[in-house]
Amino acid sequence: MTGFMEKNGLLVGLYILGAVTLWIVLMIVLPQLFMLDFSFRYNLPPAEIGGPKDVYTLSNYKYLIYGSAGSAADYNWIDLSVFLQTIIAAVFVTLIDLALCYPIAYYLAHTAKGATGRLLILSLIIPYWVNEILRAFAFRIIFGASGVINNFLVYLGLIDQPIDFIREDVALYTGLSYAYILLMIFPIYNAVESLDRNQVEAARDMGSGWLRIHWRIVIPFAKPGIASGCTMVFMLTAGALAAPQILGGPSSLWFTQLIVQWFNTGGNWPRGSAYAIALLIACVAFVLFMMRVFKIRVGEIGR
């Protein structure tokens, strides 16, 4: 802390610490605490809130597991399956982005130089000037039954009938992978850029192939950046709403859609809060578990 103050000056240091603390408390901690408290409440009319019936309960969490039956005799398989499918889909999208972005990040960090590197970075950033909703609808048009891809495949004679990419969730996974691709590229780019190229050259001189160089040198060095990118992509994908609603097929219900239904259509804010807290805990637990598996500390991600 002393070094931070000396580097930035007392006034600037206090301002940065105060702004960050205010942001964390007001925008993250307090809303989550209010939602956590709300998740343990009954769904009461406004007149009864604060009265004798306004007590804590686990009924909202029990509903997620057991449904209206309220016992182990009948699990809430619909909501639980949507919950599990959302987590699995988020992992799948994260792996897709990692496979796509790692080569790009390495190329930007160690190969592309000067105007070429700047042009590539601008090419990645400029498409995100378009609103997320517009991008999602653009993907729906591209992957639609009469969209660009189907028309092109029919024109080439590769298919006789249009493929329903929406129902098969191809459009959904493509849209989600594209939506958060920058959050995977730049953390890996920042990590790989600081890698001493002499290590790579030494490994090549000793006869190591590119796969072995990346597996033994580059990837271990870039683990913090990979972990940071995977964490952000996984969390945002699991909590996505716009893309699943626009690009999802009839059978691709996202857990966030269930949360919104409880808040809006169902009018049950305590149950919606319980569902949201359950998703948050599951995502954080999964990320911490994977960090432990790959032996990555939280402090390394913030480097």
pLDDT in tens, 154-170: 888 888 888 888 888 89
pLDDT tier for residue 183 given thresholds of 50, 70 and 90: very high
Domain assignment present for residue 284? The answer is: yes
Domain assignment present for residue 135? The answer is: yes
pLDDT tier for residue 282 given thresholds of 50, 70 and 90: very high
**What is the residue-averaged pLDDT of the chain?**
88
Domain assignment present for residue 36? The answer is: no
Q: CA 237 → CA 12, 28, 100, 269, 280, distances in Å?
A: 35, 19, 16, 23, 12
Question: Domain total for the chain?
Answer: 1
pLDDT tier for residue 283 given thresholds of 50, 70 and 90: very high
Distance CA 151, CA 157 (A): 10
Distance CA 58, CA 260 (A): 20
pLDDT for residue 3 is more than 70: no
In CATH, what number is assigned to the domain containing residue 227? 1.10.3720.10
Domain assignment present for residue 60? The answer is: no
Question: Which residue segment(s) compose the domain that 165 sits in?
Answer: 77-301
Distance CA 184, CA 106 (A): 12
- State mean pLDDT over 90-96: 95
Distance CA 274, CA 280 (A): 10
Q: How far is CA 123 from the centre of its chain?
A: 22
Q: Please tell me the predicted confidence (pLDDT) of residue 209.
A: 85
- State mean pLDDT over 63-69: 83
Q: Please tell me the predicted confidence (pLDDT) of residue 87.
A: 94
pLDDT tier for residue 107 given thresholds of 50, 70 and 90: very high
Domain assignment present for residue 42? The answer is: no
Strand partners, 41: 56
Domain assignment present for residue 26? The answer is: no
Q: Would you say 71 and 59 are in contact if contact means Cβ atoms under 8 Å apart?
A: no
Q: Would you say 143 and 171 are in contact if contact means Cβ atoms under 8 Å apart?
A: yes
Chain segment 128-144, per-residue pLDDT in tens: 898 889 999 999 999 98
pLDDT tier for residue 25 given thresholds of 50, 70 and 90: very high
Domain assignment present for residue 44? The answer is: no
Chain segment 226-262, per-residue pLDDT in tens: 999 999 999 999 999 989 999 987 777 899 999 999 9
Residue 175 vs residue 117, higher pLDDT = 175
Domain assignment present for residue 19? The answer is: no
Q: CA 176 → CA 82, 91, 240, distances in Å?
A: 17, 12, 8
Q: Kindly calculate the radius of gyration of the chain based on its CA atoms and give it in whole angstroms.
A: 24
